[in-house]
Amino acid sequence: MTITYIKCAAQVITVKGGSQPRRSEEMSDLGIIENGSVLVKNRRIVFVGPDVKAQEYLEHIHEPINIIDAEGKIVTPGLIDPHTHLVFGGSREKELEMRLNGAKYIDILKAGGGILQTTVSTRQATEEELIKQSTKRLNKFLQYGVTTVEAKSGYGLNLKDEIKQLKVAKKLNEQHPVDVVSTFMGAHAVPVEYKGNEDEFVRFVIEEMIPIVAKEELAEFCDVFCEEGVFTVEQSDRILQAGKAYGLKPKIHADEIVSFGGAELAAKVGAVSADHLLKASDQGIKQMAESGVIAVLLPGTAFFLMEEPARARKMIEAGVPVALSTDRNPGSSPTESLPFIMNLACLTMKMTPAEVLTACTINAAHAICKGDQIGSIEVGKKADLVLFDAPNYQTLQYNYAVNLVDTVLKDGKVVVE
Ligand code: NIG
Ligand code: FE
């Protein structure tokens, strides 16, 4: 059994770990080891510490050693993206010109475009086509140092095509080095065939979709787009409670466009995360902190929709654990560059470089309930690791919109070099 020796990095950013997401000042505590090394065996981290100690460890080892020289670089946990709409057909580039001419994102949806347009192309696409297109996206994620993504359904909006999307995500998880964690989001929009009959669609999601998705073990989470003109707080509540009854953990697209009570609902249902939150109320933020709901913030979406981003500082100060994500989707955030999202988190939401790294590693891991397996460099955890060509972690946010990824290890194997 070969041992991989990531040798003497300028900084190993362990991010420590822990059974709970990190909040307030804890988010700034990165557990940095200067001149640090990491040893990997059998897909797991077996040592992390100062290089001198790694050398002592290796003196007692007789296995072959594969050395990766990390001099002048930093090592971080593999980045985690806890909110994507990875699997979809078609594209929507015409929306940018519409929005530049004054159309609003939500009005494009209400007029039958947006999510509903992607629903048409996703329904038309075969499983093979969706796998091919989504694989390209996962390849890009990996190039940006992302080793795990969450992926939502929600462009099928009928039983057959929601299941098709979830099956594609499952296959991608099996085939691709990036781990894919699935979320059922049948309540992403009301499909045209239910227009004017929204409650009937909610009933369909609750009684006919959720039980089958749960029975076939196609998803771990249930999400809903709780927004004015999409699903009301009351409908979202019923959907998330139904999901919970079938073992699907709640997540919620909350307060993205108007202040709507989504953050409050997240606290009430005990959601794992509430995402977007551009317009979350003070009361909602307070309740999220009290219930331990993770805020998954998506500054790329705010940037791309030309809106004010979420109040990250207010949330961190209130004690809400914050994670970050691309929200990769064809309408409001067509990018796989989580590193650029990290830049935006600093520059538009005033998060510090340390908070941003915590948000994309251990807090993102907790946002998909994987904090015990990934998200920090600790003995026993999966060897998902990134070497960045940067002498310290601040440089990741200072050299913005460039890809500093040098090497990526997934499950202990070099997948980008
Ligand atoms: O998270 N806001 C709702 N859903 C997605 C966008 C989906 C789309 O436009 O296709 C989001 O931004
Ligand atoms: Fe989203």
- Considering only the C-alpha atoms of the chain, give the largest distance between any 2 of them, rounded to a whole number of Å: 72
Q: Is 60 annotated as a binding residue?
A: no
Mutate which of 87, 332, 333, 341 for ligand 1 pocket (most atoms within 8 A of beta carbon): 332
Amino acid 1: pLDDT: 87
**What pLDDT sits at residue 6?**
98
CA nearest ligand 1 atom 12, residue: 332
**Could you read off the pLDDT tens digit of each residue along the chain, which spans 417 residues?**
899 999 999 999 999 989 999 999 999 999 999 999 999 999 999 999 999 999 999 999 999 999 999 999 999 999 999 999 999 999 999 999 999 999 999 999 989 999 999 999 999 999 999 999 999 999 999 999 999 999 999 999 999 999 999 999 999 999 999 999 999 999 999 999 999 999 999 999 999 999 999 999 999 999 999 999 999 999 999 999 999 999 999 999 999 999 999 999 999 999 999 999 999 999 999 999 999 999 999 999 999 999 999 999 999 999 999 999 999 999 999 999 999 999 999 999 999 999 999 999 999 999 999 999 999 999 999 999 999 999 999 999 999 999 999 999 999 999 999
End-to-end CA distance of the chain: 22
Ligand 1 within 6 A of CB of 300: no
**Residue-level pLDDT at 384:** 99
Task: State which of 115, 116, 326 you would mutate to test the pocket of ligand 1, scoring each by most atoms of that ligand within 8 A of its C-beta.
Answer: 115
Distance 61 CA to ligand 1 centre (A): 51
For residue 296, the model assigns a pLDDT of 99
Question: Does residue 256 line the site of ligand 1, with CB under 6 A?
Answer: yes
Q: Is 358 in the pocket of ligand 1 (CB under 6 A)?
A: no
Q: Among residues of the chain, what percentage have pLDDT more than 90? A: 99
* Alpha carbon distance 216, 257 (integer Å): 34
Would you say the CB of residue 321 lies under 6 angstroms from ligand 1? no
Q: What is the pLDDT of residue 366?
A: 98
Distances in Å between the Cα of 271 and the Cα atoms of 122, 287, 293, 299, 373 are 28, 12, 6, 21, 20
Q: Output the CA 329–ligand 1 centroid distance in Å.
A: 6
**Dihedral-angle region of residue 200 (phi above 0 means left; psi in -120 to 50 means alpha; beta otherwise):** alpha
How far is 37 from 3, CA to CA, in rounded Å?
13
Determine whether the annotation assigns residue 332 to a binding site: yes
Which pLDDT tens digit goes with each residue over 287-327? Answer: 999 999 999 999 999 999 999 999 999 999 999 999 999 99
- Whole-number Å distance, alpha carbon 6 to ligand 2 midpoint, is 36
Residue range 366-392, pLDDT digits in tens: 999 999 999 999 999 999 999 999 999
The CA distance from 317 to 386, in Å, is 29
Decide the pairing of beta strands 405-410 and 413-416: antiparallel
Question: Which residue of 121, 188, 227, 328 sits with most ligand 1 atoms within 8 Å of its CB, as the best mutation to test the pocket?
Answer: 188
Tell me what pLDDT residue 176 has: 98
